[in-house]
Structures are given as structure tokens and as C-alpha cells.
Amino acid sequence: MVKRSKFKKLGALILTFALTMSVFLPSAAAAAQKKESRQNDYPIVLCHGCNGWGRDEAFGRLAFNAKYYWGGNVDFQEELNDRGFTTYTAAVGPLSSNWDRACELYAQIKGGTVDYGEAHSKRYGHARFGRTYKGFLPNWGQEDEDGNIQKVHLIGHSQGGQTVRLLSALLGEGSAEERAVSGENVSPLFAGGHNWISSVTTMASPHDGTTLADVKGTNKVAAVALAAVGSGLGNIPNANEVYDIKLDQFGLKRKSGESLKKFLNRVLNSSMWTNSKDNCAYDLGTDGAVVQNRWVKAQPDTYYFSWACLGTKKNPISFEGHQIADPLLMGDKKLYNAQWAAQAAFMGSYHRKDYSREIPIIDETWWPNDGYVNTISQSGPHYGSTDIIEDFDGTPKIGQWNFMGIKHIDHEDIIGRNWDGALDFFIETATMLSQLPK
């Protein structure tokens, strides 16, 4: 009886083990199958939006209680790397134009010294060359042992979406003006003919601009904000570790021993803001966005995906149907709740009819927004553009925009600040990109 009991117990253990394995093996097999279904192993590069910061900067923690731009207090770069998706996080000029940011992004990926272009730099009165970077992927654009070009997937949030679009256009078509001015000394970025980008994904990006940036005097407001940041950081050792404004090309860095008055005066009168279009405020406005749309085209050998966000609802006491912040979606901003509510209400009621503008009519179709960007602007470039934008049907189409749909979250939620589903969303996105054919 004792032996029979032992065998009975052993049988029970075997049965339990078998049942356990039957539960776990299918999921393990599914995971292995999913990894085998990858068609490419191109790295992902994340590009932040206006006012963004790098992974090693402390600004996010101080201002938003969010250490990482991508993920809040969860590092999306490492999370994706842990799951086999090689990922890098760029840190470009938080207040710079899309042109300058694209030049910096190129250098950060490829390595080398930032070249803003001779013609561009002369036009806007700043230095041609910037910082030097080691490069995430020095072999970017080269052929591997099988003869395939080593490409990347670019993901941009907010202004970062405009920036990665511009980079893809420069690589593909180059700049005739820069080639004419620089001749043999032109940067490879402006030479054109480079099919180095597998996909571009934009999240809550103002492809047609945001009416929030159309407020008169936005440039000056940005200049004052920059001066305030610069003056505060100017007294802190290693200030770039707190927040690096990356405007070396304009000389906008508080000098040792420089008084606050002199620094403020220098910033406010900088060519970056004085009758200049080489800054984030211009590019984010509806006029500047359309100017970019006229020449930044979807490249035929690149996949384009776009996501839109919506965090407002109709104002119940508005006869016109104005939009206001949905407290369930935007009421988690703590000290910034009033700011977000004001921004959402402004965009949710702003309208104009001015046929001298790049976008002549702003009407109720522009009122739904995510607190920073009008939702209608986020699906892709419409005004000034010939790009094709179609709703995603499950099969990615190359050379045009695949609009993935609207998420009912706000502008920050999609990058993981206050949305629990953000990490899963990024993993799903990375998985989809890995399944694109080489």
C-alpha cells in the first residue's frame, strides 16, 4: 500500500506537470513564432517633440515628475531592448526648427559633426556646424553581408513627427540649394538618393500645424521662456545635465560671468526669434507646417504610419459646439491641470477666416484636440501636400500614410506619462514594424 501511494503521488505530480506545461507551452510557442515572423531587425530611433529632453537630463523629473520623455518613469528604450527590439533615444534641440533638429538627428544616428548646411546657416544667421556625436549606428546606410541596406525605423512624437518626416525627405531627395552652394563639400544628408529609412511613425504630430502655435507673439513667449530657463541653469554647474537647450549654433548659452540682464537681452534679440522662421514656434504653427508640407514628401520606399489623439469633448453649455478638456482624460496633470484646460478650450473654440493664410479657414473641424495639437492635423499632411493618406486596413502600404486611427487619450498619454496601456502599445508598434519586409 505504501508503494502504491508513492506511485499515486508520482502520477499526480506528472499529471500536474503535464497540465502546467500545456498551459505555458502554447504561449512560449506563440512567442517564438512571433519572433520568427519578424521580417527585419532594423533598430528603432525615438525622436521627442518640442520642449523634450534626453534620457540623461533631469528636467523631466523636476518639471513633470517624469524621468523619461518616453515612458514617464518607465524607460521605454530599455523595455523595448529587453524584448529584442534594438532601440535608441535621440535628444535634439527642444526649441529648434525641424531643419536643425533633422540635421542633429542625422548626426546622432550616423555619427559625426552636425552640418546644418551652408545655405541654411547663412540665411538664418547661425553657425554651420554643431556638436560632434559618436553615433548610434555608424554603419547606417551601408550594405550588410547579404547586400541589404542597414535601415532604421523612426518614431516621432508631436514635433518629432515633423522632424522625422523632414529627415526622410532630405535623405531621399536632398537639397538642391545646399548642393549648389557647397558643391563637393556638401553633407551626405543633402546629397539625396539615400533609402535608409524603413518606416516613419508619428504620434500626435501637428502635420498641418497646431492652432495653439498660431497665437500672436508665440515667438516672443518662447524667447522669454528660453531666457528664464537659461538664466536659471546658467548658475548651475553642469547645467546641461538638467536641461540642455542645444542652441549652440545661435550662441544662446549663458556665458560665465554674464549678467542676467545681458543674457536676457541677447536671447530676446537673437536672430532665432527676430523675424526668423528657424525655430519651433514657426514650424508648429499652421503657416509654417504647410510650408514644410510643400516640399517634404512621402518617399516611395518608406512606410508611413500616423496615430492621432483626442482628449476633449463638447462643451455642454456651448451653443456653437465648442470643445473643452475631458476631465477624465486630462484631469491628471496636477499643477498643470489649469494650463491644459486653458489650451484645450482655446483650440476647442478658435476659428478664423483669412484667405491670406496658408490654411484659409479654421472651423469646428479643428476644435477636437489633445491639449496641444488639433486632432484633425495628426493623421498626416493635408494642406500643401500631395501625400496619400488612407485608413489602415491591416496591410501596410508603402510610400503613403497609413492612418492607424484616433486614441481617446491626451497628448502626453501616448508616450506613457499617464496611460497604463502605453508600454503595450509601443511593444505592439515595434512588433508591427519588425514585420515589414526588407
Residues with a catalytic annotation lie at 158, 370, 411
H-type alpha helices, 236-279 = 260-268
Is-contact 233 63, C-beta < 8 A? no
**Dihedral, CA atoms, 175, 178, 183, 185, nearest 10 degrees?**
-100
- The one-letter code for the residue type at 199 is S
> Alpha-carbon distance 104 to 54, whole Å?
13
Query: Residue 339 class from Cβ within 10 Å (0-12 exposed, 13-18 middle, 19+ buried)?
Result: exposed
Is-contact 57 168, C-beta < 8 A? no
Query: Residue 296 class from Cβ within 10 Å (0-12 exposed, 13-18 middle, 19+ buried)?
Result: buried
CA-to-CA dists, residue 53 to 43, 62, 73, 226, 315, angstroms:
21, 12, 14, 14, 34
| The dihedral sign for the CA sequence 350, 356, 359, 364 | positive
Q: Are strands 401-407 and 389-391 parallel, antiparallel or unpaired?
A: parallel
